[in-house]
Amino acid sequence: MKNKISPAAIGMFVMAASIIAVAAVMVFGAAKFFSRTENFISFFSESVNGLDVGAPLKYKGVKIGKVEGIFISSSKNIKESSVSVVYSIDIDQLRRKTGTDFKDYSDWMDEQIAEGLRAKLNYQSIVTGMLYIELDFIADKGEKYDLKYGGTRFKEIPAAKSGLSELAKGFEKTMADVAKIDFAGIGQNVHSAIVKVNEKLDAIDAKAISDNAVSALKGVDDLVRNRDVAEAIKKLDVLLSDSDALVNDARAELKNFSSSGASLAARLDEVLRNVNSVVAPQSPLRYQIAVLVKTMNDSMSYISNFTDYLQRNPNSLLRGKDNSKRKQNN
């Protein structure tokens, strides 16, 4: 009789497998299964060549999501058509990376957009040309912005021009200019120049130049070893030493003369001050001189009158002065 498998054993096996599966999900994929993501959209008027689905979405350089879809937004005017890019953002990761405990991500995102948050394209690698979307504050705070499509089911983050198109055009122009360069002609000219230089070098008599150089060096060596030259150098050294001593003596004499000149100037200044004090209008000496001069003037006047009188009356020295005339005079 064959042994039958117990239903209880089967149940235990299924239960164990279920527990292992749940544990594996929690360990290896819990973040993906339980993370909260929201989709956003941006409209780019420039080329998105190099941007693929799955490309990273970064907030100030930190990955917070990925590109979910790329579409062409049709328009009546084909020139005004734009490329709409839908990307997902891990809201929980965004909260952790920014350190913001926002309750409503939609209101928080509106505030960031008003502060200048924009989406733009950037290179993952210039070599490969692969692009990613960068979210950063690249517009002035309070700058007016218009949402291209207000009726989308995803919240729109305004796009900003990245300048990659202009960079690509500039690179293409540079490459075109490089392609126009005649490298073959330049190479031929360089080769011709090298050939001419080699011909000139071959024509130079290197041996003669070397002999002349050796002869010149020998002459210099003989000159250095000459006794007369050595004696002249010694005399020149002595002369220079004497010149230094003479210059030092001259400097000392000039210094002494300067000191003496300063002392003489001080004495002259003192003499001038004394002279000024003597001849000043209110000085005692000047008053005494004035009195003496007046007295001398009076004496000279008296002597002059007496001399005149003697000339007129020479006998008065013997007889004395005439009393009658004295009375008449009185």
Instruction: Report the pLDDT value the prediction gives residue 272, as an integer from 0 to 100.
Output: 67
Tens-digit pLDDT profile for residues 228-248: 767 777 777 777 777 677 777
Contacts of 41 (CB under 8 A, 6+ apart): 84, 85, 86, 87, 152, 154, 155, 156, 157
d(CA 64, CA 56): 8
State residue 81 phi and psi, 5-degree precision: -65, 150
pLDDT of residue 180: 79
Mean pLDDT, range 143-148, rounded to an integer: 59
Widest pairwise Cα distance in the chain: 214
pLDDT of residue 279: 59
**What amino acid is encoded at 283 in this protein?**
S
Residue 39: the pLDDT is 92
Question: Each residue of 165-191: pLDDT tens digit?
Answer: 666 666 667 777 787 787 888 888 888
Asked if the model's pLDDT at residue 327 lies above 50, the reply is no
| Angle at 272 (CA atoms; ends 266, 273), nearest 5 degrees | 90
289: pLDDT strictly greater than 60: yes
Are 131 and 50 in contact by the 8 Å Cβ rule? The answer is yes
Residue 218 banded pLDDT, cuts 50, 70, 90 = confident
Give the span between the Cα atoms of 87 and 107, in whole angstroms: 18
pLDDT in tens, 7-23: 676 777 778 777 877 66
Sheet holding 37-44, edge to edge: 117-123, 131-137, 56-59, 62-73, 82-90, 37-44, 155-156
Residue 21's Cα: distance from chain center in Å? Answer: 65
Q: Which residue has the higher pLDDT, 188 or 133?
A: 133
> What is the per-residue pLDDT for 72?
86
Contact 37, 142 (CB under 8 A): no
Domain extent listing, the chain? 33-160, 226-279, 284-319
How far, in Å, CA of 159 to CA of 119, rounded? 5
Q: Taking the CB of residue 163, how many other CB atoms lie within 10 A of it? A: 13
Which SS3 state, helix, strand or coil, does residue 58 take? strand
CA distance 75 to 261: 102
Enumerate the H helices of the chain as residue ranges.
Answer: 7-28, 30-34, 91-98, 105-114, 164-179, 183-203, 206-225, 227-279, 284-312, 316-319, 323-329
**Range of lowest pLDDT (34-43, 53-62, 186-195, 217-226):** 217-226
Mean pLDDT, the chain, rounded, equals: 75
pLDDT at 255 over 80: no
CA distances from 330 to 41, 319, 320, 325, 326 (A): 147, 20, 17, 8, 6
pLDDT tens-digit series, residues 17-44: 778 776 665 655 444 555 688 999 999 9
pTM beyond 0.95 = no
326, pLDDT greater than 60: no
Residues 6 or more apart whose CB falls under 8 angstroms from that of 134 comprise 58, 61, 119, 120, 121, 122
pLDDT score of 324: 46
Name the residue with higher pLDDT: 51 or 191: 51
